[in-house]
Structure formats: C-alpha cells, structure tokens
Amino acid sequence: MHQKVSVSGLCFPELPAPEAIEAIAGLGVASASLTGAKVRAAGAEVVAAAARRHGVKIVTTTGTLAINLSSVAASAESRQLVEKDIDLAAAVGAATMYGLTGPRTSARWDACADAYVNAIGDLAGYAAARGVTLAIEPTSWLYSDLTFIHTFHDALLVAPRAGMGICLDAFHVWTEAGLREEIGEHASLIAHVQVSDMTRGSRSLPCRTVPGAGDVPLAAVVQWLLDAGYSGVFDLELNGPAIDAIGHHAAAAQSANWLDKLLEELGA
C-alpha cells in the first residue's frame, strides 16, 4: 500500500480506537487518523501501544478549536479544553490536530474572524511546542452550529492569522471555483487532506461514498495537491448510508486500493 494512503478511524464507527487501528493495519495501511473522543475513551497510552504493535502511525487527531466568547471565564475554560486536546494528540504522536472554530459570533463574517483570532491567542504556539500543528477544517454550511468557516477560501483568511494550518476535506470544498489556484498558491498551509466521494443525488448528510462512485473529481484534486507540493497523507473518511450498505471494512478496503492505484498512476 502506498505510504501516502491513510484511513480514518471514522471508517469504523463501531470500533474503539485500538480495534480500529488493528482493522486499518489489516488493510495494509500504515497511517491513520482518530477522533479525540475515541482516543480519550480508550486512553492515550493504550492507543499509542496499539499503534506501535500494529505498525500504524497516528498522523492526526480531532479536537476542539472552538472558543466560547460569552464571558472571560468561558473563554478561559474553552482554551483549557483546546490545550487538553492538544496534549492528547501529542500523547499518541499525532503531528496534526484539526477541528472546527465554533459558530458565528456576529452577523459580519470579518468580525467573527477577528474575534476568533484574538481569542485563540497563542494556542498554536502551545501546540507547536508539543510537536502538533493545529488545523482548521472548512465544512458545509450545514455545520454552521459548529463553525463559521465553510470554504477553503475562508479558511485561508483565518488560519494564517491564528498560526494554524488547514485540514482540506475534498468532500466539503470540491465545488469551489478557485480551488485549484488556491491549492497551488497556499499548499504550505494544508496540514491534512481527507478524501471521499459524494453519493449522487444526495440532499442530506451524511452522504459520503467510496472514491470513484460519486461526483467529486478526486483524481484531479489529488493531482492538484501533488503538483502544488503537498507532501502529507491522503486520509480516507467514509460514512453514510452508501458506506453502510457496502460494509465498513469492505468500503475502507475498496477505497484504500483505489487511492493506492491512483497515487501510483500519478507518480506520487
């Protein structure tokens, strides 16, 4: 399996982190991402030991990047939660922790961005001191209760100011008009890439499907990233009815093999 292929623990929603690592290793994949919640539930030491035992590198974890601005006390508490998630990422050897910013705090987007950057302070420095890069993930506006950043373009206006990178999920950003150009100009800010396709005709979430079975021009997006100099992994994140119908293990295996073949064809 190509070294740039990674599989998210989200592909195995019913498995605890150690068992998800074992399943990923069974696919012949040597890199994985995990949710912070599953790492915390199993214990960082247990997860790190499972990763070593199965020869899987935990490249990324999820964590909160939201700051509650309702009061000084709430803001301080939010920052402590971010620090705990950073510590958790570091404990399992993850080089990146990605998350969502929290919802809008103002009708004006630029005011939201200013408030967030001011509130986040030096958390990126706290993470860097522990070998972790923080990354903002832009997501669909259907997640507006969790974030105010819904495009790669918008993430580019916030992440550098906060000292962060960007988690680019092709599922969420593939429709953007300037995606190819902005990847080319800002590849150095892309800390993590997630890959899945979108089930044709879907009108609600979750609606991911295996690569090549939907509408996302994944081969082109992967090519753009490689051409721009992105050197990280391509992390498969799969969920939704189409994935359930295929079967979690079968969908992950099919997707990993598809991505392995694509990366070989592209000369990665």
Report pLDDT digits (tens) over 47-56.
999 999 999 9
- What is the rounded average pLDDT of the residues 242-266? 98
Q: Determine the pLDDT at residue 262.
A: 99
Query: Total domain count for the chain?
Result: 1
The two structure tokens encoding residue 56: 């899987």
Q: Determine the pLDDT at residue 98.
A: 99
Using only C-alpha atoms, what is the Rg of the chain? 18
Q: How far apart are CA 99 and CA 54, in angstroms?
A: 26
Closest CA to 124 of 93, 92, 158, 86: 86
What share of residues in the chain are helix, strand, coil (percent, to 5)?
50, 15, 35
Share of the chain above pLDDT 90, in %: 100
Task: Please provide the average confidence, as pLDDT, over all residues in the chain.
Answer: 98
CATH number at residue 130: 3.20.20.150
Q: For residue 208, what pLDDT band results from cuts at 50, 70 and 90?
A: very high
- What is the rounded average pLDDT of the residues 156-182? 98
- What is the rounded average pLDDT of the residues 249-258? 99
Q: What is the pTM of this model?
A: 0.97
- What residues make up the domain containing 190? 5-265
CA distances from 161 to 61, 115, 145, 189, 251 (A): 22, 11, 23, 11, 38
Q: Determine the pLDDT at residue 19.
A: 99
Q: Determine the pLDDT at residue 232.
A: 98
Residue 78 Rama label (left phi>0; alpha psi -120 to 50; beta): alpha
Q: For residue 124, what pLDDT band results from cuts at 50, 70 and 90?
A: very high
